[in-house]
C-alpha cells in the first residue's frame, strides 16, 4: 500500500508561561511520542476523551501546528518545511466542529470558491471545481442560497465542499457532527463515506459518537497523547472494558451483547450496529427454540 501520511515519534506541547516546580512544562505534553501511518484511501476514526490530544493531532496533519519534536511527513514532504506549506494544506483539508465559524461568504458558491481563489487558480477551473464540489456533497441546488439560512447539516456540507474544491487527497474532520441534529448527522456521515468510496479521499474522522466510528475501516483510540489501541472496528469495540476505563463508550448494540454475555449467554462476537445485533439475537433465540 502506498505510503501517504507518516507521524513519527511526535511530541507536542502548547507554550505556557505558567510552568512551575510542581508542574514543569514537560508535564504538559499533549502528544507523547506518538506514531501513526495513514495509507491512501483509508477511513480512520480517531477516538479519545476530551483532552487526550485528538484535535492537536488533527492540526498537525495539515501543518496548522508543528511538532515540538518528531516529524509529520505528508506525501514525502516534512510539514515543518515552510516552502511547501501550501502544498500540504492543499493535500490535507481540515473541517471543524462549528460550521458557522468556517463559512466566510454570503453566497454558498462564493464560499466554496474562496479556497481555490486563494490558490490563484484560473476562474474557469474554479467554476468547474465549485460545481463539482457542491455536487459531491449534494448541495448543488443551494449554490445561490445564503449560508445563514441553511440548516446545520447543510452548512457543514458546504464547509466540506469548500475543502473538496481545493481537491485535497485527505480530509481531517474534527467532530463535524457534534452540533447537528440526527438528520444532519446522517447527511454529513453519508457525504464523508461517499467521498471516501467514490473519490478515494482519505478520511480522518474525530468523533465522540461510537455509531459513527464503527463505520470506519480502522479505529484509533488515543489517551494521554499516545495511541492506546487500534484495529478494525470489531477488534476495538470488542474490548468493552478497556474503552470504558478510558472514558469512552461502545454502541448500544455492542453494550447489549456485552451485558448478555455477562449474564452467561454466549455470543461468538460483538455486534457493531442494529442490523448485526438483531441477526445475532435472532439466531440465539432460534437455537434455543430448537428450530
Please report, as ranges, the residues that interact with other proteins according to CB under 8 A.
Answer: 48-51, 97, 151-153, 175, 178-185, 208, 210-211, 247-249, 251-253, 255-256, 259-260, 263, 265, 273-275, 277-278, 281-282, 284-285, 287-289
Residues in contact with 158: Cβ distance below 8 Å, sequence separation at least 6, in sequence order:
99, 103, 108, 111, 112, 134, 137, 139, 142, 147, 150
Helix (H) / strand (E) containing 243: helix 240-245
Q: How far is the CB of 236 from other proteins (least distance, A)?
A: 14
Q: Which is nearer to other proteins, 8 or 186 (CB)?
A: 186
Q: Which is nearer to other proteins, 109 or 175 (CB)?
A: 175
Other CB atoms within a 10 A radius of the CB of residue 234 amount to 15
Backbone angles phi, psi at 149, to 5 degrees: -90, -5
Q: Which is nearer to other proteins, 57 or 201 (CB)?
A: 57
Q: How far is the CB of 210 from other proteins (least distance, A)?
A: 7
The answer to whether the CB of 267 falls within 8 A of the CB of 240 is no
Q: How far is the CB of 238 from other proteins (least distance, A)?
A: 17
Q: Which is nearer to other proteins, 81 or 282 (CB)?
A: 282
C-alpha cell at 68: 515540538
Q: How far is the CB of 128 from other proteins (least distance, A)?
A: 31
Residues in contact with 113: Cβ distance below 8 Å, sequence separation at least 6, in sequence order:
105, 126, 130, 165
Q: Which is nearer to other proteins, 22 or 50 (CB)?
A: 50
Q: Which is nearer to other proteins, 126 or 221 (CB)?
A: 221
Q: How far is the CB of 280 from other proteins (least distance, A)?
A: 10
Q: How far is the CB of 25 from other proteins (least distance, A)?
A: 16
Please tell me the distance from the alpha carbon of residue 175 to that of residue 203, in angstroms, as a whole number: 13
Q: Which is nearer to other proteins, 90 or 208 (CB)?
A: 208
Distances (CA, A) of 141 to 113, 144, 194, 199, 251: 16, 8, 18, 21, 35
Choose among 63, 64, 57: nearest CA to 30: 57
Q: How far is the CB of 123 from other proteins (least distance, A)?
A: 32
Please tell me the distance from the alpha carbon of residue 105 to that of residue 250, in angstroms, as a whole number: 39
Amino acid at each position: 500500500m502506498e505510503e501517504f501520511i507518516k507521524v513519527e515519534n511526535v511530541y507536542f506541547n502548547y507554550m505556557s508561561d505558567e510552568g512551575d516546580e510542581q508542574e514543569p512544562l514537560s508535564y504538559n505534553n499533549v502528544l507523547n511520542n506518538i506514531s501513526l501511518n495513514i495509507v491512501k484511501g483509508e477511513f480512520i476514526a480517531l477516538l479519545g476523551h476530551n483532552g487526550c490530544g485528538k484535535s492537536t493531532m488533527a492540526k498537525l496533519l495539515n501543518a496548522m501546528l508543528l511538532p515540538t519534536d518528531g516529524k509529520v511527513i505528508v506525501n514525502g514532504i516534512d510539514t515543518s518545511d515552510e516552502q511547501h506549506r501550501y502544498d500540504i494544506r492543499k493535500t490535507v483539508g481540515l473541517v471543524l466542529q462549528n460550521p458557522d465559524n468556517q463559512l466566510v461568504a454570503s453566497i454558498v458558491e462564493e464560499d466554496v470558491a474562496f479556497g481555490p481563489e486563494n490558490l490563484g487558480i484560473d476562474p474557469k477551473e474554479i467554476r468547474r471545481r465549485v460545481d463539482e464540489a457542491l455536487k459531491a456533497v449534494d448541495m448543488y441546488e443551494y449554490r445561490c442560497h445564503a449560508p445563514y439560512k441553511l440548516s446545520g447539516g447543510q452548512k457543514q456540507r458546504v464547509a466540506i465542499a469548500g475543502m473538496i474544491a481545493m481537491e485535497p487527497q485527505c480530509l481531517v474532520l474534527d467532530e463535524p457532527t457534534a452540533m447537528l441534529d440526527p438528520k444532519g448527522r446522517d447527511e454529513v456521515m453519508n457525504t464523508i463515506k461517499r467521498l471516501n468510496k467514490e473519490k478515494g479521499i482519505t478520511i480522518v474522522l474525530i468523533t465522540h459518537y461510537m455509531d459513527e466510528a464503527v463505520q470506519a475501516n480502522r479505529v484509533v483510540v488515543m489517551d494521554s497523547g499516545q495511541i492506546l489501541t487500534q484495529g478494525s472496528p470489531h477488534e476495538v469495540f470488542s474490548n468493552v472494558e478497556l474503552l470504558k476505563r478510558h472514558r469512552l463508550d461502545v454502541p448500544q448494540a455492542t453494550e447489549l451483547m456485552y451485558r448478555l454475555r455477562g449474564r452467561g449467554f454466549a455470543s461468538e462476537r460483538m455486534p457493531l450496529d442494529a442490523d448485526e445485533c438483531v441477526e445475532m439475537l435472532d439466531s440465539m433465540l432460534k437455537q434455543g427454540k430448537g428450530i
